[in-house]
Chains A and B, each alone.
Chain A
């Protein structure tokens, strides 16, 4: 992440240096299309090197005609470049192919599973900010306090304990021993403001707490470390000293002067981390039997459902391209120096 952050720090200045925002966005979109094309080429050719889907799909008791039929129907009898060309033609018109296993369009299958994953990732993000930010700021304000030691020690644990192990532990403690929360699955969903989510029902929330917390733990630790580092850095700056000298209340210094300044890097990093929450919730989803994208893609990898794997990887690439772009724009809006210069042009 550090590299990404550093890169963004330098890239973020771009829209402000006299380039109109629209041109900046357009250029980035063009670059994205090229990246997507290259990715599709790489992913498609790599996945065609692995195994043969027919072995995974056709029941071994079938007659040889059946094996030939499946190979023909799924276009697997064609050379890879022909298969890729067909894929590309379809992709341009928004068709990423049909799942071998489910016989349905890959995009439709992913769209079906996406809300569950989005809900999980959003909850995890909210948890990591609401828990991580206050703890991190506290640790930054009192670098030598005993509370800080506990917080920082905890954050080391949060970063180093494997997600799947922690997930199982949480199930055992909160579901099996204490019996407070359900073990797995997604609860009842309901519709609010046009969004269907399990976060709007009590049963849904009860199902959501464990997986969302499990997914958030790593990010909480990360937010703590970022917030602490930012706080330590900013608190030493002149304008804070000046504010103190002016006799402002500590509360006001933290909320009005410290927060906006440390938020900039945190927002930047979290934007990208949100992408990783969506893209790599796989482990958490598998343990908690959460019906999201992760389970779909794991099954697809195991069973060589190539269209789903390709569509998923392209989706993830697109997700990160879009998030990068959005973060750059938000960054430009958040940073007062950038905005001021931008306004002048």
Chain B
């Protein structure tokens, strides 16, 4: 789209500035929202997918809820605490009813867990959060959850499971899609879903929390960013998510519209292969002969990080919609360490480090990444390649569709090993659990124990592993968090990954609408409120 000198964005700008059609006052009762994607199902247990999960929170509640920064707050459980090393006790909220009038009790939780772990044909089930836990109803409003080993994250896991009425324990996914079984306890009731077209919700007047303001909400999936922005300007919709960077100045400068931005927990990072074996074809000497990965040496990894001008990427590639990152979490988010700053751009020092590591003459490198998966992903890779070339690493870029990339990224090499020497990918913490990125990316790969599934570069530090494991088996949550922050600091200083930036999430709405937003880039309809 950028190739056109007089592109649609340019005209959108012209249209918006010259011939403004003022958006009328917001109807206090109804809301129309355009989202960039739609759920694959309205069954809250069908697929563990971000859009499905955020839609599920509109109609259903979990025992524990997450606020916009993924801190745990009371949901259908009013409080919870460990009663011994292996058991958590949840005190359930009294007087809550499902949309069909049935009373909520501990039996519903037990039935939900039974169903959520075993939904047929699930492309990504919630069993991960349920397996290994025993659920016991002490009485109607007290529930005990026990695990075989001490496990501090039971409340986090419980925040992932939407509670359904036990009457629907045997309901099919189709029953939830059509509304036969979709009775939750959440702020909205489910009205209808026409796939690809519309989702309709209505207010739950009997909600146990603060009732929402809208009588009815219409949600439309509009995949194309410019169409979404046009729909908002034309007044077809009141609220949109994911403003395309090119449309942002238009919407920001326009009367009658407001834009919301926040630094999200979606991190873009580079991973650099750091073991001897195997030798990959993507790092070579100047004649093209494969060499052992230069990134075995921490100084070469640091050189890459110092070579990347994160601020230039934010300003020129991302149109200001990224914040330079030095760790997994953005500031203010769980697991954030105040001691870690994003590396400043320092090509001179980077060249020195390369020379110290024995690569003073440079080498050739191919960096890989997905195309179209993350905001501006290809252009970021191209920018990084230029920056690396400037310090003597002669860098080529190879991008591919995400569906091809992820397979090669995780097991495209010999013996199903990760294929690439240097690759860019993204990560967002879905669970709000502070050890999550450490368990996935940083811990030594131990498949059978569930450690290091995303550790594709062979990073391994026994001290870090121990900190992660100790933290994950301590019921003292504050102590665990300290261990995780310490592990993060060690791993980041050894460039277990090279963080690039956190994406800045955007929303836009007609004036008179407020949106409570935080580190999550998905949209929560019940956080959209009329402005007083």
Contacts and interface: CB of A to CB of B under 8 A. Distances in A.
Interface stretch (A19-27, A53-61, A126-134, A217-225): A53-61
B230 A176 contact: yes
Interface string A60-100: 11111110011001100000000000000000000000101
A52 B236 CA distance: 39
Interface stretch (A144-152, A178-186, A239-247): A178-186
Contact of A176 (B131, B197, B233): B233
Interface string B33-44: 000000011000
Interface stretch (B14-22, B181-189, B303-311, B354-362): B14-22
Interface stretch (B74-82, B141-149, B221-229, B461-469): B221-229
Nearest to A293: B196
A185 B237 CA distance: 11
B116 to A, nearest CB: 13
A62 B48 contact: yes
B133 to A, nearest CB: 13
Contact of B453 (A60, A98, A102): A60
B430 interface: yes
A17 B79 CA distance: 85
B26 interface: no
B403 A186 contact: no
Contacts of A113: 195-196
A103 interface: yes
Contacts of B224: 168, 286-287, 289
Given A55-B407, A101-B40, A289-B220, A183 B8 contact: no
Contacts of B195: 112-113, 291
A164 B405 CA distance: 27
Interface string A299-315: 00011100000000000
Interface stretch (B89-97, B120-128, B289-297, B387-395): B120-128
B234 A66 contact: no
A70 B46 contact: no
B513 interface: no
A303 B453 CA distance: 21
Contact of A73 (B1, B121, B405, B453): B121
B227 A182 contact: no
A51 B403 contact: yes
B180 to A, nearest CB: 15
A98 B121 contact: yes
B4 A165 contact: yes
Contacts of A321: none
A57 B123 contact: yes
B40 A63 contact: no
* Range class of the A interface residue count: 35 or more
Given A50-B404, A60-B440, A286 B223 contact: yes
A193 interface: no
Contacts of B410: 55
Interface residues of B, number: 62
B431 interface: yes
A302 B235 CA distance: 30
Contacts of B440: 60-61
Interface in B462-485: none
A302 B220 CA distance: 20
A175 B195 CA distance: 24
A255 interface: no
Nearest to A56: B403
B231 interface: yes
A102 B40 contact: yes
Contact of B406 (A51, A165, A179, A182): A51
A64 B410 CA distance: 13
A59 B448 CA distance: 17
A55 B406 contact: yes
A289 B121 contact: no
Contacts of A286: 223-224
Contacts of B402: 56, 302
Contacts of B47: 57, 101
A179 B401 CA distance: 37
Contact of B121 (A66, A103, A182): A103
Nearest to A102: B40
Interface in A266-324: 286-289, 291-292, 295-296, 302-304
A60 B454 contact: yes
Given A55-B407, A176-B15, A63 B131 contact: yes
Contacts of B404: 50-51
B338 interface: no
Contacts of A100: 123
Interface string B1-25: 1001001100110011001010000
A70 B230 CA distance: 39
A66 B430 contact: no
A339 interface: no
B195 to A, nearest CB: 7
Nearest to A179: B21
B8 A169 contact: yes
B128 A62 contact: yes
Interface in B387-429: 401-407, 410
Contact of B436 (A50, A61, A69, A112): A61
B131 to A, nearest CB: 7
A84 B450 CA distance: 32
Interface in A170-217: 171-173, 175-177, 179, 182-186
B194 interface: yes
Nearest to A64: B447
B196 A176 contact: no
Contacts of B403: 50-51, 53, 55-56, 302-304
A303 to B, nearest CB: 7
Contacts of A74: 123
A104 interface: yes
Given A50-B404, A177-B19, A291-B196, A103 B230 contact: no
Given A59-B430, A165-B4, A185-B198, A66 B12 contact: no
Given A102-B40, A183-B234, A302-B403, A172 B8 contact: yes
Q: Which of A171, A288, A295, A304 has the most CB of B within 10 A?
A: A171
Given A52-B407, A295-B196, A172 B230 contact: yes
Nearest to B196: A291
B407 A175 contact: no
B16 A176 contact: yes
B173 interface: yes
Given A112-B195, A113-B196, A175 B230 contact: yes
A51 B404 CA distance: 4
Q: Which of A57, A172, A179, A288 has the most CB of B within 10 A?
A: A172
A210 B123 CA distance: 36
Given A66-B124, A171-B230, A176-B15, A59 B196 contact: no
Query: When A and B form their complex, which 7 residue pairs have the shortest distance between CB atoms, in order from nearest?
Result: A291-B196, A103-B121, A168-B8, A55-B406, A51-B403, A57-B123, A291-B197
12 contacts: A51-B407, A53-B403, A55-B410, A59-B49, A59-B124, A63-B450, A70-B123, A102-B41, A103-B46, A172-B11, A176-B15, A177-B19
Interface of A: 50-53, 55-66, 69-70, 73-74, 98, 100-104, 112-113, 116, 164-165, 168-169, 171-173, 175-177, 179, 182-186, 286-289, 291-292, 295-296, 302-304
Given A56-B402, A64-B448, A291-B196, 12 more contacts: A51-B401, A60-B440, A60-B453, A64-B447, A70-B122, A100-B123, A171-B226, A177-B15, A183-B230, A184-B222, A287-B224, A292-B196
